[in-house]
Structure 1
Amino acid sequence: MTRRHPWADGPWPLIETPSKTKDVTKHPAIYIANEMAFAHNSMLRGLNSIYLQAAQITKRQDICDFLFFIASWASWVSHHHTLEEEKMFPGYERVIGIHNFLGDNVGQHQTFEPALQQLLQYGRYTVPERYDASVVRGLIEELAPPFREHLSHEIDSLLSMEPYEYDGEALLGVFRECEAEAGKQDKHVIPPMVLGLRDVTFEGGNKWPCLPPLAEWLVFYVLARKHSGAWRFLPCCTWGKPRRLPFAKAGG
């Protein structure tokens, strides 16, 4: 997108994926780090999309839909980090045989979790008449710096598992088990939102996430309809193609 029409790759920048310089088929740790980098970039696009559009939303129905989008994004991110702390990271540490190997990453969650929870509560419980864009943007300005730093640091931490000797299939097993757990979230919220936060053109093109045939059609025509108003604020269509943020301020 042009500077005249800001897009979801800023103001907090996206993360370079390991696949840009590494072969993800060479080691499970590289594959896992790469998948997580794509997920983290989707989180950053959501954060940027909320921040860039917040001040221009004034009509009651737009505010209702935007608050739902805020709550959905914050709930997804919070669930992701809870899953890491309770299942994913302990599972990786058991496989590689090093206790607290990813402890720094868990500690980093605490640096932004309070602001994330405030944003979640704001999206869930604010009535449209009390909506204040300055509150939303202020919470994001508090949340974003440590959040973005953590998302980048975690990729390096996952890559650092590569040199150790362990059962690579067991490591992938932990990742797939957590993927399945994440997939239990609301089908009318998470698939429509995440597919619209990915960018299949990023870094020259990608196919993240790997989807079964016709999955995007199912999401678009069935799952996304329940909360379709909220998905107007997404930076990409269901097929992952970038589009203009409808409420982003030109020249911003």
Structure 2
Amino acid sequence: MPAPYPLLDMPPGDFSNMFDYQAINMAAAHNAFIQGINAMVAHASTVPPEKVQPFMIFSLAVVDNIHHHHDLEEQYLFPELEKKLGQGALSGNVEEHKEFVPQLLELKEYLEKVKAGEAKYDATLFVEKIHSFSDIMIAHLNHEIPSLESSRMRAVFTEKELKDIDSGFMNLALKKIEFATTMPLSVVCGNPATPWFPPFPLPLKWATRWWFARKYSEAWEFGPLDLYGNPREMPKA
């Protein structure tokens, strides 16, 4: 299993331009997922017994964040975009979800059992379960970006329409997350090359560092960044 997976190259354009934003923002989100998967693999064999529970919280946050993102794509984002792009224009992305989501959920079930004390943590099994879907998922994360390419957006949408879709996506996302896990994870699995992601207001970023991160503070030690966005040295996978 490759470790670490390389991060996606950022698409060309300006993050503040709503036509460019679609692909750029998606690539930044995908890089956060890759950061999380890389960190899980890197730490898998070095987690001491007293840190297994925080590691399960971190790993569940990564898995839940990926699954939550794909649910929102299928339920809201892609249908909204297809109103102008044409029905089925993004169906290839959804079909690819089916190739790895079942295995992702199997990993989640295992993590929950370890967290509940119903299964013993096994680093080899843990990495095998990641390997069962990660290559396919990483390929998908790369494939999805061109489907949101700037010229494709510009051809059929107005800037206001895209802003409204993005606002709707963010509102739904914030309604369905657990702030004590998703918000800190968004920081510690960030990419120093894109410090503007996630595009949360500054007060929310402050609240993440000083409040939301406190409940599971030990879990965020497994992130590739600290809560200030500084890179950490990762164990050799």
Distance 1:25 1:218, change over 3 A: closer
Output the amino acid matched with 2:44: A
Distance 1:24 1:71, change over 3 A: closer
2:155 matched residue in structure 1: 164
**1:129 Cα deviation from its structure 2 partner:** 6.3
Paired with 1:129 and 1:117, the residues of 2 have a C-alpha distance of 16
Structure 2 counterpart SS, 1:235: coil
Output the amino acid matched with 1:199: N
1:14 matched residue in structure 2: 7
Q: What do the CA deviations read for 1:53-104 (whole angstroms, capped 9, x no partner)?
A: 1011131x3011111111111111111101100111000111x240110000
Paired with 1:97 and 1:14, the residues of 2 have a C-alpha distance of 28
Judge conservation of contact 1:188–1:223 (CA < 8 Å) in 2: yes
2:229 matched residue in structure 1: 240
Instruction: Verify: 1:43 aligned to 2:36, yes or no.
Output: no
Number of paired residues? 232
Instruction: Verify: 1:191 aligned to 2:188, yes or no.
Output: no
1:117 matched residue in structure 2: 105
Distance 1:15 1:97, change over 3 A: closer
Judge conservation of contact 1:108–1:150 (CA < 8 Å) in 2: yes
**1:162 Cα deviation from its structure 2 partner:** 2.9
Q: What do the CA deviations read for 1:151-204 (whole angstroms, capped 9, x no partner)?
A: 11111111162352333321231122111211121111110111111123x2xx
Structure 2 counterpart SS, 1:39: helix
Output the amino acid matched with 2:139: E
Instruction: Verify: 1:155 aligned to 2:155, yes or no.
Output: no
Paired with 1:42 and 1:136, the residues of 2 have a C-alpha distance of 20
Paired with 2:198 and 2:216, the residues of 1 have a C-alpha distance of 22
Structure 1 counterpart SS, 2:9: coil
2:65 matched residue in structure 1: 76
Q: What do the CA deviations read for 1:9-42 (whole angstroms, capped 9, x no partner)?
A: 9421110111xx323445x332111011111100
For structure 1, the residue ranges without an aligned partner over 5 or more in a row are: 1-8
Output the amino acid matched with 2:72: L
Distance 1:57 1:129, change over 3 A: farther
Structure 2 counterpart SS, 1:14: coil
Q: Which has the higher helix share?
A: 2
Q: 4+ residue runs of structure 1 moved beyond 4 angstroms?
A: none
Output the amino acid matched with 1:175: D
**TM-score of the two chains, using structure 1 as the length reference:** 0.85
**Percent identity among equivalent residues?**
28
The one of 143, 146, 150 aligned to 2:136: 146
Judge conservation of contact 1:193–1:234 (CA < 8 Å) in 2: yes
1:6 matched residue in structure 2: none
Output the amino acid matched with 1:29: F
Instruction: Verify: 1:208 aligned to 2:201, yes or no.
Output: no
Distance 1:97 1:148, change over 3 A: closer
Distance 1:51 1:161, change over 3 A: same
Distance 1:70 1:80, change over 3 A: same
Output the amino acid matched with 2:8: I
Paired with 2:217 and 2:119, the residues of 1 have a C-alpha distance of 21
Judge conservation of contact 1:64–1:128 (CA < 8 Å) in 2: no
Paired with 1:197 and 1:135, the residues of 2 have a C-alpha distance of 23
